[in-house]
Amino acid sequence: MAAITPSTVPTTGLLAAPAAVSASDTIAGDLVPVTGGLLLRVINGGGSPDNVSVSDGGVTAAGNPGTVTPVAVSNGTTKTILITRANVNTSTNLVTITHSFTTSVTYELQRV
């Protein structure tokens, strides 16, 4: 598990510097803005699809974690996923991101 942090995009632009994903990455909840959010750009340069799951900060009436619907990032494609405060697990103060495929998959994380 790797802790990842967002980049701030300055008015002069930001040079893309994708980093490798782990099977499970986390973002500290304090890094997720109250308004707007974070943009997670997943770049799949590998030969298999990557199903990306971002934690749901909600819980059911019984206290179970919220149901997560994975975002499919097909091989050879790039997708951007919005992460908001609703994704922060209130008991751990983390957003957890899991990947089903990690070979040649990279990410960029930026504040909105």
Domain of 93, CATH number, reads 2.60.290.11
Answer whether residue 47 is part of any domain.
yes
H or E stretch at 39: strand 38-44
Q: Which of 26-30, 40-44, 108-112 has the lowest mean pLDDT?
A: 108-112
Residue 15, judged by CB atoms within 10 A of its CB (0-12, 13-18, 19+), counts as: exposed
Work out the average pLDDT over 4-18: 87
Range of the domain at 81: 2-8+18-111
On the question of pLDDT at 43 being above 80, the answer is: yes
Tally the domains of the chain: 1
Answer whether residue 13 is part of any domain.
no
Query: What whole-number distance in Å separates Cα of residue 86 and Cα of residue 56?
Result: 7
Answer whether residue 72 is part of any domain.
yes
Answer whether residue 31 is part of any domain.
yes
Answer whether residue 48 is part of any domain.
yes
Give the model's pLDDT for residue 2.
Answer: 85
Mean pLDDT over the full length of the chain: 93
Residue 63's pLDDT band (cuts 50, 70, 90): confident
On the question of pLDDT at 1 being above 70, the answer is: no
On the question of pLDDT at 44 being above 70, the answer is: yes
Question: In what order do the strands lie in the sheet containing 105-111?
Answer: 19-20, 105-111, 38-44, 78-83
On the question of pLDDT at 18 being above 90, the answer is: yes
